[in-house]
Structure 1
Amino acid sequence: MKPAKLPIFILILSTLTISGCKEKAGNSSGKEKPNVLIILTDQQTNDCLSLMGNPNLHTPYMDSLARRGVYFTESYCTSPVCGPSRSSLLTGRMPHETGVVWNSTFIDPAVPTIGQIFAEAGYNTAYAGKWHLPEGYPAQKDRDSIAGFKVIPFQSLEKSWDKGAETDGPIADAAVKYLADYDEDKPFLLAVSLHNPHDICYVPREPDAYAKAPEIDAPLPPLPANFNPAMKEPEFLEEKRLMDHYGDELLKTKDYTEADWRAYLYHYYRFAEMVDAEIGKIWNALRERGLDENTIIAFTSDHGDGAASHQWAAKLSLYEEVVTVPFGISWPGQIPAGRIDRQQLVSGIDLTPTLCAYAGIATDSFTGKSLKEAIEKPELPHREHLVVQLEDDKLDSTRHARLIRNHRFKYNVYNSGKNDEQLFDLWNDPGETENLAYDTNYQTIKTRLKTNLGEWMIQNKDNALEP
């Protein structure tokens, strides 16, 4: 069901009534600076929306936002961990540069955030929702500002702030109120960070709180084609499956039956639909104020989820379902609408430089690259390869892994354990079922990617792996 449209006579009346507000918010002539709305979800893999052809869920608002502009399917987080990835989204820098390689860590104060950059450029900057750098919710701690943003207050429905089912509604309502009340001469940068579908973490942790397969009165999603674990999985990942602390969802799903995994997917998709409804509130509020025409909207997620692929729950791996995320950006009249880009390699470090480029803010303090040229000239390659970093256990700071991907092949390397390399041909094996790292026919390709990774790490002063 598509978002409801207002009758045309109401739209005309609204336009006449709030034209003064539109001028103040920079929405009348197109010459003013654009407003910017960033929408973040948590733990959403890029297949977890109906736009991508997934018939097991319905996400009309995210689909609508994607169709409003350009949607990139080859989009990767910088790290499949909440805090590190968020630090990259907000700074345009990799986790080792922001100082956030594990959760519950402050961004290095020497690294400017998008809030600070836009505030210095004359924007009102505000943040609603989950932060995780280091505290989960600054509003819970009565913080009034964080890293260049004004904190928008809200109150969780329950005393606990751990679940999106309790926080996402109040976060969205707070963002709606901010938009409804906005009456400033300056343009705004509003970041809204929602929690779901992250609640999937609690399905294995609180098994009595969620319906089991026989209790679900609805068709269950089928198992993914790559449901079985990869052949000769790296020992690094085998060890992760048995950890009883961070990422313990893996241990708790170790004895899942196929029916249990299908129920897991059922709940995952329901959480995505829940957060989509909250995004709809914000999207409709923007349109009701007449601010949508001169507002850049970007939406993405901090990382994905295993989503039963390779029988992996949670994040903390380099499998595609975990490291790929939605990434859409739109601005009517400036960014073409209705384009799905399946070619360009996009990273979370590209978000901040892209928004700066479209807002006309000049700065070169990024490791990421603006997507503006890739959007305007999609025939040109945005980058030849990208890198994802993984530090999966704060209690054992010696564990590191890196991913490098070009347009066809993906190489993963782990710094400990047997079978420490993986190479996948994503064109012929998108489910990553055949590890080519030890196949004699692919050694030239592996060597090239290892060389590219080594050069990237030297250039970017990433010293996590031994040469």
Structure 2
Amino acid sequence: MTNVVLFMSDQHNPRYSSIHGHPVVRTPHLERLAARGTVYDNAYCPSPLCVPSRSAFMTGRYVHEIERYNNCKLIERRDPSYGSVLAEQGVHTCYLGSASNLYRNPFHLGFSETLLMTATERIVDPDAVRRGVQEPREPKTDTVHGPEPDRFAEDRRYIDRAVEWLQHTAPELDQPWTITVNVHPPHPPYTAEPEWWEQYEGAGDLPEHGIDEASAQHPYTQDLRHRGAWAFTEDVVRDVRRSYYAMISYVDAELGRVIDAVDAAGLAEDTVIVYTTDHGEMLGTFGLWCKTSLYEDSIRIPIVAAGPGFTAGERVSTPVTLLDLQAALFHATGAQRPQDWRGEALQTLEAHDPERMVFVEYHGHGPRGSGFAVRKGDWKLIVNVQAQDQLFDLANDPDELVDLAGQYPARVAALMAELRSICDPAVEDLRASEFIARQLAEIDRLRAEHGPTLRRIPWSEATTSVP
């Protein structure tokens, strides 16, 4: 049995890191971790939105199974977390940082120890819950970007606590343990402390593929652009991308501090260290920003794991997801995972398995309906319930510029069968719509009780439980 340090950032597209060949973004500590362990080149999130993705990771279930469709958490479920299940089996579990996950009250996480960023949460406006494309918006020509003093102060505080825990608490434990460390960057706002911003002077570039590409004209893509109404000037685009690069280098430096703490405490021989994130970032590709798309930039994530059970210097091409990473925590600590949880432990998978399929879904705000993606071998099918489906050959078209669905109907049918082995897309689209209608009803009720803004409401006053 071994221990696990899980370091999770927010919204890191793996394309923007030196371990994946980016010519500008410097991530020396990710390189250091990769040299000690395994890089998963085709890792995916369960859903390209914070709360759905983290909820699936926390509970080991698909998003549609736990009905955590969007970032609105007014209707609560109490599915057990991996931290609580591990703790019940004698694994000491510690959780630091953001609790953007399944629970309206983050103190219901069930970990042995928790240190959270906040005890309140914003209530999401209904226009941001789903199908926000119905109302026209003025083009957004700017966003918060550039240098910002103390931008990382809160994250630095949590890393300080993690280092302290690894130095003083972990060595004294007489049982296996896990510590989950969360940082907010490179999630927006697109700002960075001057020290990091200045490192990328002149590095702000433009996306390689913009709104003239065929994939940018797909109805779901246009829905997302319409909702965001992104119309940044070229200078803003360059500065936003520069800020994103700077944030990634900051996160990398904090990862280095955590690795150093493990080594200094003499824990490395019996400890798995993992770096990952919750979803990617479009960063202007096809005119899209943030996440919520099923294109690769939005759903691919970094997973790098080092320690017992992982081969040093290995690159794995087999598609995997955060659910497989969650299963790896149980494998490492020797605990039993609930049989109905999804995913397989990373340590047990073949390095190059062309037959393994992974599944991603999105039901949140922006597009007119639910979307699903399946990846198997070199092929990826995107099923857009209320628009045409898309098929991409990622080996020859990694940037998803050419939709081959019309040319390979048999391939589409085969991948559709894989998807239907998990769920019926039309049925899940309807279920999501009905659930979100209940969320909107809750928002209307709370508005009547608390006023129109709903900026912040105490947990006890904004929680509806679902069995």
Please give the TM-score of this superposition, normalised by the length of structure 1: 0.77
| Secondary structure of the structure 1 residue equivalent to 2:412 | helix
Q: Residue type of the partner of 1:193? A: N
Q: What is the match of residue 389 of structure 2?
A: 421
Deviation at 1:272, TM superposition (A): 0.5
Identity of paired residues, percent? 27
Report the CA distance shift for 1:60/1:136 in structure 2 as closer, same or farther (over 3 A): farther
1:64 aligns to what SS in structure 2? helix
Structure 2 counterpart of 1:192, from 181, 184, 201: 181
Say whether the 8 Å CA contact 2:213–2:401 is kept in structure 1. Answer: yes
- Distance, in Å, in 1 between the alignment partners of 2:292 and 2:183 is 20
Q: How does 1:357-396 map to 2 (within 5 A)?
A: 357-363=331-337, 364-374=339-349, 377-380=350-353, 384-393=356-365
SS at match of 1:448: helix
Who is 1:29 aligned against?
Answer: none
Gap runs ≥5 in structure 2: 120-149, 432-467
Indicate the SS of the match to 1:279. helix
Q: Is structure 2 residue 84 aligned with structure 1 residue 146?
A: no
Number of residue equivalences: 395
Equivalent residue, structure 1, for 2:61: 93
Aligned match of 2:319 = 345
Question: Aligned partners of 1:118 and 1:461: how far apart in 2?
Answer: 35
Alignment partner for residue 408 of structure 1, among 374, 378, 385? 378
Q: In the aligned structure 2, how far is the partner of 1:430 from the partner of 1:164?
A: 34
Aligned residue for 1:464, secondary structure, equals helix
Structure 1 SS opposite 2:6: strand
2:80 equivalent to 1:108: no
The question of 1:241 aligning with 2:225 is answered: yes
Partner of 2:460: none
Q: Does 1:254 align with 2:237?
A: no
**TM-score scaled by length of structure 2:** 0.77
Match of 2:154 among 144, 156, 167: 167
**Structure 2 residue aligned with 1:246:** none
Are the structure 2 counterparts of residues 128 and 461 from structure 1 closer, same or farther at C-alpha, using a change threshold of 3 Å? farther
Q: Quote how far apart the aligned CAs of 1:227 are.
A: 3.3
Select the residue among 395, 398, 409 that pairs with 1:443: 409
Match of 1:457 in 2: 423
Give CA-to-partner distance per residue, 1:86-140, whole Å, 9 cap, x none: 112222211122332211437732x3321012112211111000111267995xx
1:266 is aligned, of 213, 217, 242, to 242
* Distance change in 2, residues 1:391/1:313 (3 Å): same
Using the TM superposition, give the Cα deviation of residue 48 of structure 1 relative to its aligned residue in structure 2, in angstroms.
Answer: 2.0
Secondary structure, counterpart of 2:84 in structure 1: helix
Mark the CA change 1:87 to 1:164 in structure 2 (over 3 Å): closer, same or farther: farther
What amino acid does structure 1 have at the position aligned with 2:428? N
CA contact (8 A) 1:411 1:422 kept: yes
Structure 1 counterpart SS, 2:423 = helix
Q: What is the rounded CA distance, in whole Å, between the counterparts of 2:41 and 2:18 in structure 1?
A: 13
Residues 42-53 of structure 1: matches in 2 within 5 Å? 42-53=10-21
Q: Distance in 2 between matches of 1:433 and 1:238?
A: 15
CA contact (8 A) 2:205 2:237 kept: no
Aligned partner letter, 2:356? E
C-alpha separation in 1, matches of 2:39 and 2:358 = 18
Q: 1:65 to 1:462 in 2, by over 3 A?
A: farther
Give 1:69 shift: 1.1
Correspondence for 1:219: 202
Asked if the contact 2:38/2:311 (under 8 Å) is kept, the reply is yes
Asked whether the equivalents of residues 361 and 373 of structure 2 are also in contact (C-alpha less than 8 Å), the reply is yes
Q: Tell me the amino acid that sits aligned with residue 285 of structure 1.
A: A
Q: SS of the residue aligned with 1:70?
A: strand
Aligned to 1:324: 300
Contact 1:92 1:367 in 2 (8 A): yes
Indicate the residue corresponding to 2:461 in structure 1: none
Distance 1:112 1:136 in 2: 13
Partner secondary structure for residue 325 of structure 1: strand
Residue type of the partner of 2:357?
H
Q: Deviations over 1:343-372 (max 9, x none)?
A: 201111111212212322233231111222
Partners of 1:164 and 1:196 within 8 A in 2: no
TM-aligned CA distance change 1:453 to 1:171, over 3 Å: same
> What residue ranges of structure 1 are gaps of 5+ in the alignment?
1-32, 157-162, 244-249
The 3-state SS of whatever aligns with 1:427 is coil
How far apart in 1 are the matches of 2:265 and 2:199?
40
Q: Answer yes or no: is the 8 Å Cα contact 1:155–1:170 preserved in 2.
A: no
Between 1:259-268 and 1:145-154, the stretch displaced more is: 145-154
- The answer to whether the 8 A contact 1:303-1:322 is kept is yes
8 Å contact kept, 1:45–1:304: yes
Report if aligned partners of 2:374, 2:419 keep a CA contact under 8 Å in 1: yes
